Amino acid sequence: MTDIYCLIAGLLNLLLPAVLVIFWHKRTGARFLPAFAAFAVCLPVFIIGSAIRSGFDRSSPIAFYIQQGLLFGIFEEGAKYLVLRYLLTSYDSRKDAVTYGIGHGAYEEFGCGLACLGLMGTGKAASDILLYQILSIAEGTVFVVSLTVIIFYGISMEKNIVTLPAAILVHAVSNASVGIFIEPVSIVLWIIIDIGIGCAAWRCWKAMEPPYEE
């Protein structure tokens, strides 16, 4: 039965982002390219980030996870800012920012999906893998889309001096908490962070209503 859960969890990770992008396109008319751009940008970002992380001193776990959080916070949110600000200049709608966020999350979920499928037949998967992956996909999607909207808001409203450092800090704290705190505590922190940035992203979304997003 666990293998079936692994299969379902893997397929959800692999296919759900594409379903979300198509649904968002049908619902709002948002364009597809930002999702593909985000997925492509994540590849070098994570490769370089992982290479740098491999040189970190692991003798102090807390210091290691704090450094890791800051590293990927800077790399991931910085890459979002650079791409949205300087490359996808024609994609200047808040709806396209959401598509970019889904594409960014798709890269991370792609890796999780392959990992879930790789556990099939090994007997190493936990019995709650499917539930955990469903919650992880939901949390991860809210997290990346919210931070992307906040960064896009900063670009649109010329408030990058506030929004970009805030996004990096939130990302760093969320990333570091996974390693520093035991799972029940880290899950509570994830929920609190997601609620906070979700509310902030919604306020940013509303502030960019036409004609400001044009």
Query: Measured between alpha carbons, how far is 135 from 97 in angstroms, rounded to an integer?
Result: 23
Rg (CA), the chain: 17
Decide if 124 contacts 5 (C-beta within 8 A): no
Q: CB within 8 A of 99, min separation 6: which ones?
A: 21, 24, 25, 30, 31, 32, 34, 35
Helix, strand or coil, per DSSP, at residue 45: helix
Query: Measured between alpha carbons, how far is 30 from 12 in angstroms, rounded to an integer?
Result: 22
- What tokens does 131 get? 């539930």
- Extended beta strands in 64-153, E state: none
Q: Residue ranges of the domains in the chain? A: 2-207
Q: CB within 8 A of 18, min separation 6: which ones?
A: 106
Task: Using alpha carbons, list the distances in angstroms from residue 104 to 43, 46, 142.
Answer: 10, 11, 12
pLDDT computed for residue 212 by the predictor: 53
pLDDT computed for residue 213 by the predictor: 52
pLDDT values of the chain reduced to their tens digit, one per residue, 214 residues: 788 999 999 999 999 999 999 999 999 999 999 999 999 999 999 999 999 999 999 999 999 999 999 999 999 999 999 999 999 999 889 999 999 999 999 999 999 999 999 988 888 877 788 888 998 999 999 999 999 999 999 999 999 999 999 999 999 999 998 888 877 787 888 889 999 999 999 999 999 987 655 4
Q: What is the DSSP string of 124-138?
A: -S-TTHHHHHHHHHH
Decide if 54 contacts 39 (C-beta within 8 A): no
